[in-house]
Amino acid sequence: MRDGALRNKEEKDRTAAKDQPADSVSVSDSRNGSSDFWQRLGLAILAIGLSFAVSAIFIWLSGKNPLLAYWSMLGGAFGSIDSVAFALNKSTPYVLAGVGVALCFRARVINIGGEGQIAVGGIAASWVALNCSDLPGVCLIPLAILAGSGAGAIWAAIPAAMRLARGVHEVLGTLLMNFVGVLLVSEALHGSMGEVGAGFPQSPLFPEQAWLPPLIPDTDLHIGIILAVVAVVVCHFGFWHTPWGFRLRLIGSTDKAAAYAGVSAARGVAGVMLLAGGLAGVAGAVEVLGVHYRLIQGFSQGFGFNAVAIALLASLNPVAVLPAGLFFGFLEAGALAMQREIGVPSSLIYVIQGLTMIFVLCALGISWRRQRV
Amino acid sequence: MNYAVLTELLSASIRIATPLLLVALGGVISELAGTFAVGVEGMMLMGAFGGAVTALVTKNLVFGLVASCICAVLPAIIIAVATVKFRADQMVTGLAANIFALGFTSFLLRALFGGKAPVMVLPTIGAIHIPWLSQLPIAGPILFDEPLMTYLAFLLVIPVHWFLRHTQAGLTLRAVGENPEAAFSVGANPHRIRMMAILACGVFAGLGGATLSLQELGTFTDGMTNGRGFLALAAIIVGRWMPFRLMWGCLLIGAASALALNIQGWGLPVSSYVIQMTPYLIALAVLCGIGRKARMPAAIGKAFIRN
């Protein structure tokens, strides 16, 4: 069934590709024209639709009614103010990390180290929150977030340096650093930062002035989502309207053109990795300061790969990361309700994510013939 | 360090290296044909799942091994179609397949056993004592007193090496990874060869996964491969895409893990989490050490477009 659907899509994309100018590598061209915008949006919706359809088959095979399952998913995502707040909080780190990943991919740097960068960002923010508790909240929270972003940037700088100095591919570098970063959280909780006598590896509760203030009173929704929106807007502006963004686009399109224009690919790669790491670090800080109010073992699990999936769904367009991230946040909130009410395991969302990514990649592969991601 | 500890350490290195070696042998076939094997982590996880569940239900080891290969080929088919037919980016497609495999195994594990993940305790594949060779001093207990999959993995290095170096099919496969246009011009079919190579990679990775679930741990848990597929990829680079050399890469990582496990028993003042980091750190260090000397197949990562 999926093959048939894919073939259909291929035909659609082929006809769409004919309408486009043949050289997809030129820098000025990749500005979104309006027809291009609708095409990208259609692609994203098609990919999501297909992966939901395939996942419905899995639900049906497991003996549950897929329509009921998706209905309870919808209710779980949008049913109440609390569930919307939960979903928005879920989206916040995804959007923050996803924007960075999208920019990296645009410069042809495959940074999949979000998980580790978020983990160390969380550690640094927690350390500040626990050890500088004399400070008032207005100073403490920015300081903790800053510490988180610094730690994330350092974590990203290591694989960047390994690539630039030693030619180690960033995919392996960032992947292996993820495992080290996640283990560092366990190590921190095992050592000086852990709460004595707690049944689970976690830090003591942060002092209350370190908690992110709520955006809407009496809900769990914290101000992190504002940070995410700001990050998206700044990255969008920076990418499309500054010399820095132009250089990134140049590096991403062709090495030769970049070298000819005197743009240093190495500096571009280092810069975009630092930026992405910093944003992922902020995501980690926001997660511990706004949701858990403490550092918890494994708090970053799956975040890094979610960020990659979101960046792809957004067609690597910084501003589109916001809706894509929100979609994944609501998906997750819905999946938990689905598991509770219908008994469909919530790990189905990883199936949906993986399939969505594959469908988007296939469509991108056809439409951008020569370009890598 | 006394003699018994040393033999135990070396023997454990070989056991831990076994699943890595199987996965790396598969990965090298895929990469030499020109497709990055980032998806081996997911294939391995599917293999571990298929092997464990089938062995649990049928109580038959052979069925378990066959099922592990079949399950691991499933993500391999997805990757093959997406990267070869649709020219999707190989790295990110591999990652997507890993995410899919993680969700799919976790979903099925619960769906098959009525909503709750079962606690599996499977009998592990035991050691086979080779007559009189296992009585040899030093080498005996290390090399000739290992379980079935370990012998299989290390013996498979020879035919894989032979295939890639000395058969026409193997040479054509490598030509496709170096220059698909040239291979095409002399009558090879790069698309078909790349797809076959990815499927073969799936079979090897499935066996690697089965080794993990049926021989090493005797159970299946969510995400149990835990980066072993990525370590195998590091071993491929360390071995510069040559079967015998990557075997040493796998043994190096195996030795690091075995040493880490042993240190925990010695009561040194190092926490277990730092010790768990060592295989990843060693892989990173070795990759840095090799640096630019590693020469990838020239056409790896590039889709072949027939004009």
Beta strands in chain B (DSSP E): 127-129, 145-147
Q: How confident is the model at residue A11 (pLDDT cuts 50, 70, 90)?
A: very low
Q: Name the least confident of A64-68, A362-366, B67-71, B200-204.
A: A362-366
Instruction: Give dist(CA A147, CA A153) in Å, integer.
Output: 10
Residue A50 domain boundaries: 38-367
| Mean local confidence (pLDDT), A204-222 | 86
The total number of structural domains that make up chain A? 1
Those of residues 214-243 in B touching chain A at CB distance below 8 A are: 222, 226-227, 230-231, 233-234, 237
Q: What is the mean pLDDT of residues A221-244?
A: 92
Express each pLDDT in A52-103 by its tens digit: 999 999 999 888 899 999 999 998 889 888 889 999 999 999 999 999 999 9
Q: In this predicted model, which residue has the larger pLDDT, A104 or B290?
A: A104
Report the alpha-carbon distance of residue B265 to residue B227 in Å, rounded: 24
Instruction: Give percent of chain A with pLDDT exceeding 70.
Output: 89
The yes-or-no verdict on residue A241 having pLDDT over 90 is yes
Q: Residue A110: pLDDT above 60?
A: yes
Distances (CA, A) of A28 to A25, A253, A260, B134, B143: 9, 11, 17, 69, 62
**Which residues in chain B are closer than 8 Å to A166, comparing Cβ atoms?**
287-288, 291-292
pLDDT, one tens digit per residue, over B157-177 is 999 999 999 999 999 999 999
Q: Under a CB-based contact definition with an 8 Å cutoff, are residues B144 and B130 in contact?
A: yes
Q: Does A345 touch chain B (CB under 8 A)?
A: yes
B230 CB neighbours in chain A (<8 A) are: 172, 175-176
Tens-place pLDDT, residues B215-255: 988 899 998 998 899 999 999 988 889 999 999 999 999 99
Mean residue pLDDT of chain B comes to: 89
What percentage of residues in chain B have a pLDDT greater than 70? 98
Does A17 contact B at CB distance below 8 Å? no
3-class state of residue B274 by DSSP? helix
How confident is the model at residue B307, as a pLDDT? 61
Residues within 8 A of B (CB atoms), A 301-340 only: 305, 308-309, 312
pLDDT tens string A173-190: 999 999 999 999 999 998
CATH code of the domain occupying B3-118+147-293: 1.10.3470
CB–CB of A347 and B103 under 8 A?
A: yes
Give the three-state DSSP class for B242: coil
Using pLDDT thresholds of 50, 70 and 90, give the confidence band for residue A9.
very low
Residue of B nearest to A183 (CA): B273
Q: Closest partner residue to B96 among A343, A347, A357, by Cβ? A: A357
pTM for the whole structure: 0.88
CATH number of the domain within which A231 lies: 1.10.3470
How many angstroms separate the CA atoms of B213 and A118, rounded? 30
Whether residue A11 lies inside any domain: the answer is no
Is residue A200 scored above 80 in pLDDT?
yes
- The pLDDT score that the predictor gives to residue A21 is 36
CA–CA gap between residue B160 and residue A146 (Å, rounded): 51
Residue among A110, A350, A361 minimizing CB distance to B82: A361
Which residues of chain A neighbour B36 with C-beta distances below 8 Å?
171
Please answer yes or no on whether B93 and A184 come within 8 Å at the CB atom. Answer: no
> Is residue B131 very low, low, confident or very high in pLDDT (cuts 50, 70, 90)?
confident
Q: Kindly give the residue spans of alpha helices, DSSP state H, lying in chain A.
A: 2-19, 34-61, 66-78, 81-106, 114-131, 137-166, 170-190, 224-241, 243-253, 255-260, 265-287, 303-313, 321-341, 348-367
Q: Is the pLDDT of residue A277 over 70?
A: yes
Among B245, B262, B252, B253, which residue's Cα sits nearest to residue B227?
Answer: B253
If you average pLDDT over residues A198-224, what whole number do you get? 86
**Cα torsion at A285, A291, A292, A296 (round to 10°)?**
-50
- For the purposes of burial, counting CB atoms within 10 Å of the CB of A58, is it exposed (0-12), middle (13-18) or buried (19 or more)? buried
Q: Sorting pLDDT into bands at 50, 70 and 90, what band is A13? A: very low
Overall average pLDDT of the A253-262 stretch:
76
Across the interface, of B82, B237, B288, the residue whose CB is closest to A362 is B82
Minimal-distance CA residue of chain B relative to A349: B103
Closest among A215, A158, A123 to B273, alpha carbons compared? A123
Give the model's pLDDT for residue A15: 39
Give the residue-averaged pLDDT of A334-354: 89
**In the block, residue with structure tokens 């008994």:** A343
**What is the average per-residue pLDDT within A347-372?**
80
Is the Cβ pair A365, B38 closer than 8 Å?
A: no
Residue given tokens 């769904």 in the structure block = A313
pLDDT at A33: 55
Q: Is residue A51 part of a domain?
A: yes
- Shortest CA gap A239–chain B (Å): 22
Q: Quick check: helix, strand or coil at residue A296? A: strand
Using pLDDT thresholds of 50, 70 and 90, give the confidence band for residue A364: confident
Q: Do A351 and B104 touch (CB under 8 A)?
A: yes
Q: Is residue A213 part of a domain?
A: yes
Spatial CA neighbour of B17 closest among B234, B287, B263: B234
- When mean pLDDT is compared across B48-52, B70-74, B258-262, the lowest value belongs to B258-262
Considering the domain boundaries, does residue A16 fall inside one? no
Report percent pLDDT > 90 for chain A: 46
Tracing tokens 């949008």 back to the chain, one arrives at A78
Name the band, by pLDDT with cuts 50, 70 and 90, for residue A278.
very high
| Secondary structure class of A214 (helix, strand, coil) | strand
Interface of A with B in 176-195 (CB under 8 A): 176-180, 183-184, 186-187, 190-191
Question: B190-210 vs B148-166: helix axis angle to the nearest 10?
Answer: 160
Sole residue written with tokens 């195998």: B232
Q: Is the CA virtual torsion A146, A152, A155, A156 positive or negative? A: negative
CA of A57 to nearest chain B CA: how many angstroms apart? 12
Inter-chain touch A186–B111, beta carbons under 8 Å: no
